[in-house]
Structure 1
Amino acid sequence: MNFTLSFNELMPLAPVMIVALTAIVVMILTAIKRNHNLVATTAVVGLNLALASILLTLFGATIKPATVMNLFMVDPFTLIYQVMILIAALACCTLSHAYIDSYKSNREELYLLMLISVAGAMLMVASTHFASFFISLELMSIPVYGLLAYTHQRSKSLEAGLKYLVLSATASAMLLMGMAFVYATLGSLSFAGQIDDMFWALTKAESPETIMALQGYMAKYDHLLGSTLVIIGLGLILCAVAFKLSMAPFHKWTPDVYDGAPAPMATFLATVAKVAMIALFIRYLLSSGVFSVDVIRTVITVFAVLSVLFGNLLALKQVNLKRILAYSSIAHFGYIMLALVSASYLSLPSIGVYVASYVLTTIGAFGVVTLMSSPYNNSSEADSLTNYRGLFWRRPVLTATLTVMMLSLAGIPLTAGFIGKFMLIMTTVSTQHWFYAAMIIIGSGIGLYYYLRVMITLYQSPAETTTVDAPHHWGQTAGGIMVLAAAAAVLVLGVYPDPLISIMKQADLFMPLQLLLSVGQQ
């Protein structure tokens, strides 16, 4: 592998470098003199610069896929998912500012950890190699341990950080073992393995005999993918990814961690971390040829169905809003996996639309929780539904915002969530996977019950005493403005989704496997 790089060869990763440089600047500013507002502003400016650089690329000239060190691939798929990660990170920064502002302990390191994790998440969506897969995953995950336990005066926060640390380390060990098994058989750490070499050789081949030989080698590669050692390795990788995405039966940590984590950090875990993981998983499945293995598709389908059922059924009796949102996220990623295994030409665009709507809705829902919470003791987190009883009579606009988010999560028309679910169902129906479509519809029907229960609580007669509440000027804070913007975006995309759908149709993966097959068929 050649590590001699010029500046131009690194330019495709410029947004990641901007975030990394911002983290260094934040570290230096914190060391010189602690100033919460200055550090928070620096972090937001750095994230905005990275976002602007990607948007200029996306809406500029035609994007040509670019590889960096044979470890990363920067293509439209990478850039679009990096945009979602940066938007979610900006939302988490603004929510954290108001939440942590009254915190008496150190506040500035929160932004440093967040920026490092964002850099790792951005590298994850571009990874095309097991080495970059693991390193970027750990770069994203390790700061999250500290973020979850940041408000260490709260016993629940420490518990959440410790639980995620232990279980995530177990998942990482499974991932490494799975990679070792795959490498032992295929002899390559690249997602595409020998497919890259075969593709380029095939495109340069001049004689029919050479093309036939390469296609025979491709058949041998398909045989290796079906070997016992590779299947065991892929099974371990799938289990590790299922943990990171909190898919059943690896979902038990999710409600406890979401409940114990500071509200802005639960938002970060539910959006940035999961968007990066789902994007990396999609790239791995489609560019490695693994998706052609029947056993793997079956296992993913089982995980998806269990996630839809467990996520929705376990949320029915919850009286804690954070736990409801946690179980809800389990079901949502089950829906996404069902669209993925449908293997339709609509799969990638519909998944992109659904992930975008999920990010906006999750930001808005957790944003309301954040505005009503405090970082000090366990009782000051606005997690119980009793904290929201009669909220309409005290904070009508905030109640309307949370109502929009619940409607979107439920998939009610005129919200972004409805468009996302409609596209997922359309994807499964286009390939005549009626069972997958039925699971999405049944899961959405079950979910409607607990989302409506949250909304009914908002409009009930208020409790005699209120232990937590949002400040009177919440709409004038950066976090409040961000929550209102998320609600507006959910409504606008629900009414006029065409721009979002058009963007997601551009999120194509550059996959040598697809090109190889198309050339071989000609």
Structure 2
Amino acid sequence: MSEIQFDALLPYTLLAASSMVIILLIAFRLSHTVIQVVGFLLLCLVIAALLKVRSSLPIAILPLFQIDGFALLFTGLIIFCVSIIGLLSYIYFEEREENPKEYYILLFLATLGAAILTISRHFISLFIGVELLSVSLYALIGYLRTRNNAVEAGMKYLVLAALSSAFLLFGMALIYMDAGTMEFAAIAQKISGHPATSPLVIMGAGIMIVAIGFKLALVPFHLWAADVYQGAPTPVTLFIATVSKIGVFAVLVRFALAIDLQHYPQASTVFSILAIASMIVGNVLALRQQNIKRLLAYSSIAHFGYLLVAFLTGGGAGVEAAFFYLLAYSITLLSAFGVVTLLSTRQRDAEDLTTYRGLFRKDPLMAAVLTVALFSLAGIPLTAGFPAKFFVLTAGVRLHLWPPVITLVLTSVIGLYYYLRVISVLFEGSPHLEIKERTLHPFFYTATYATLAALLLLLCLLGVFPGSIVEGIRAYLLI
């Protein structure tokens, strides 16, 4: 490996080293506060490393990795999300009696797995990233083993994730049997010369779609999502909803670009069906939910159906629309789950809708953050969700993807109902929120409130001034 290649890997090397640093801090019996602060500083170092390597890209580290502007965008979004999740995790776990220190080891390892997926250009690195992410999530989901049905949720994810990994491996094996290579670009070159693609490649790709569909919770591979979202600790639920899916979606996009997926009508048809089914089923199942974590789980199924519309268009415009949508979606969920985390008590999470009745009178800032987040998920103008959906619709219309586009519009109307239902609860009746005992130093609550206020501002800025963000995305994708 050359010095330039080693430097390009610096952000990912730092992520790998971060988990070892946390292990050493635990071995020296340092406090949760010290571990939290050091973890945040390590993430800042990773961001600085991402900025440092930008000028030397793109760099291929054959045969496994491709570090370019695409990877930097997705990795940067992952680190941003993990930074906020880490801050929310401190309050969430410090208020409970369980020892939270080992949680940060698992969090950094899962983050490393997601980051590896963003630079993967080979089936081996893809599988390593998926497994590192999944194995860490098994433990994270069941971390609070005595509450929230965490063990049940962890076991459900363990069994289904292991099954999806088997599908992923078998699909890779079938493609390797025909192509004789596991590198994305080489596979594309091998199959591009065949007018009729080999049955082995078709079977392998189909089986891999099952595994990817599970990781992204697409219909009909979505049955784990609501139970896992509800049973996992709220920061872990947020990690699954954002970081985990960002990593998997990034490697899916890179593979699709490598093989030029739009030239294969069968694949486009399959993804169109998955998108339509996810949009319909996700929105319909969310209609009657009284648990906000389950509601957001079904909502996320629908939103990744929307995201597939941009994915189907391919090319630069499709990737720009998809990344902007992921950015808006991630900030929105960070805001919504941040409110859930702050309102959760030592005994239970704030997940029942009745908990939020009259929240505006009790805590106007939290009510405002949750309201704007739900408006953004619904795609209301002046929030980030509106330009995000507009860019996805524009990309779909440009390629005449009429069935997914029409479904997106119609199901977005359905989504308005359950988002507005939650918002109406925030402003009706007298407050039902129980008084939460504040056991930590006021600084930590102030910092978390300030972070949520900043996320609220970001949602509005993305909704009003999306153009500069899109230009920045385009500049990175050209690297």
Report the TM-score range of the alignment, normalised by the length of the smaller protein: over 0.9
Q: How far 1:507 sits from its partner (Å)?
A: 4.4
Aligned residue for 2:303?
332
Aligned residue for 1:116?
109
Match of 1:486 among 438, 455, 469: 455
Match of 1:12 among 8, 20, 25: 8
Q: Is the 8 A contact 2:275 2:305 kept in 1?
A: yes
- Pair 1:44 & 2:13 matched: no
Deviations 1:397-454 (A, max 9, x none): 1100100100000000001111100101111111222322211111211101100000
* In 2: Cα distance, 1:471 partner to 1:402 partner: 21
- Pair 1:187 & 2:177 matched: no
Q: How far 1:113 sits from its partner (Å)?
A: 0.6
Q: How far 1:468 sits from its partner (Å)?
A: 6.4
Q: Secondary structure at the match of 1:193?
A: helix
* In 1: Cα distance, 2:47 partner to 2:99 partner: 28
Q: TM-score, normalization: structure 2? A: 0.95
In our comparison, the structure showing a higher alpha carbon Rg is 1
Q: Secondary structure at the match of 2:461?
A: helix
Q: Secondary structure at the match of 2:66?
A: strand
* In 1: Cα distance, 2:340 partner to 2:331 partner: 15
Q: Secondary structure at the match of 1:414?
A: coil
Would the alpha carbon gap of residues 93 and 187 (structure 1) be closer, same or farther in structure 2, given more than 3 Å must change? Answer: same
Aligned residue for 1:105?
98
Deviations 1:198-245 (A, max 9, x none): 7xxxxxxxxxxxxxxxxxx7753x347x11111111001011001000
Q: Which amino acid aligns with 2:140?
A: L
Q: Which amino acid aligns with 2:7?
A: M
Aligned residue for 1:74?
67
Would the alpha carbon gap of residues 468 and 223 (structure 1) be closer, same or farther in structure 2, given more than 3 Å must change? Answer: farther
Deviations 1:330-358 (A, max 9, x none): 01110111122133642111111100000
Q: How far 1:34 sits from its partner (Å)?
A: 3.6
Q: Is the 8 A contact 1:283 1:509 kept in 2?
A: no
Q: Is the 8 A contact 2:356 2:433 kept in 1?
A: no
Q: Which of structures 1 and 2 has the larger relative contact order (alpha carbons within 8 angstroms, sep 6+)? A: 1
Match of 1:320 among 291, 295, 300: 291
* In 1: Cα distance, 2:57 partner to 2:362 partner: 53
Q: Is the 8 A contact 1:387 1:468 kept in 2?
A: no
* In 2: Cα distance, 1:127 partner to 1:41 partner: 30
Would the alpha carbon gap of residues 390 and 474 (structure 1) be closer, same or farther in structure 2, given more than 3 Å must change? Answer: farther
Q: How far 1:152 sits from its partner (Å)?
A: 1.1
Match of 2:357 among 379, 389, 392: 389
Q: How far 1:294 sits from its partner (Å)?
A: 1.9
Q: How far 1:482 sits from its partner (Å)?
A: 2.0
* In 2: Cα distance, 1:400 partner to 1:78 partner: 34
Q: TM-score, normalization: structure 1? A: 0.88
* In 2: Cα distance, 1:292 partner to 1:151 partner: 47
What does residue range 321-400 of structure 1 map to in structure 2 within 5 Å?
321-343=292-314, 345-374=316-345, 377=347, 380-400=348-368
* In 1: Cα distance, 2:409 partner to 2:444 partner: 36
Aligned residues: 477
Q: Which amino acid aligns with 1:148?
A: I
Match of 1:35 among 8, 31, 53: 31
Aligned residue for 1:498?
467
Would the alpha carbon gap of residues 468 and 172 (structure 1) be closer, same or farther in structure 2, given more than 3 Å must change? Answer: farther
Aligned residue for 1:408?
376
Aligned residue for 1:424?
392
Would the alpha carbon gap of residues 155 and 326 (structure 1) be closer, same or farther in structure 2, given more than 3 Å must change? Answer: closer
* In 2: Cα distance, 1:218 partner to 1:445 partner: 41
Task: Kindly report the root-mean-square deviation, in angstroms, between the aligned alpha carbons of the 2 structures.
Answer: 1.9
Q: Is the 8 A contact 2:173 2:204 kept in 1?
A: yes
Q: How far 1:68 sits from its partner (Å)?
A: 1.4
Q: Which amino acid aligns with 1:53?
A: A
After the TM superposition, which segments of 4 or more aligned residues of structure 1 sit over 6 Å from their partners? none
- Pair 1:442 & 2:410 matched: yes
Q: Is the 8 A contact 1:373 1:470 kept in 2?
A: no
Q: Secondary structure at the match of 1:67?
A: strand
Q: Secondary structure at the match of 2:185?
A: coil
* In 2: Cα distance, 1:22 partner to 1:252 partner: 34
Q: Is the 8 A contact 2:274 2:305 kept in 1?
A: yes
Q: How far 1:103 sits from its partner (Å)?
A: 2.4
Q: Is the 8 A contact 1:163 1:257 kept in 2?
A: yes
* In 2: Cα distance, 1:367 partner to 1:285 partner: 33
* In 2: Cα distance, 1:409 partner to 1:471 partner: 30
Q: How far 1:64 sits from its partner (Å)?
A: 3.0
Q: Which amino acid aligns with 2:121?
A: T
Aligned residue for 1:54?
50
What does residue range 86-97 of structure 1 map to in structure 2 within 5 Å?
86-97=79-90
- Pair 1:455 & 2:451 matched: no
Q: Which amino acid aligns with 2:177?
A: A
Q: Secondary structure at the match of 1:192?
A: helix
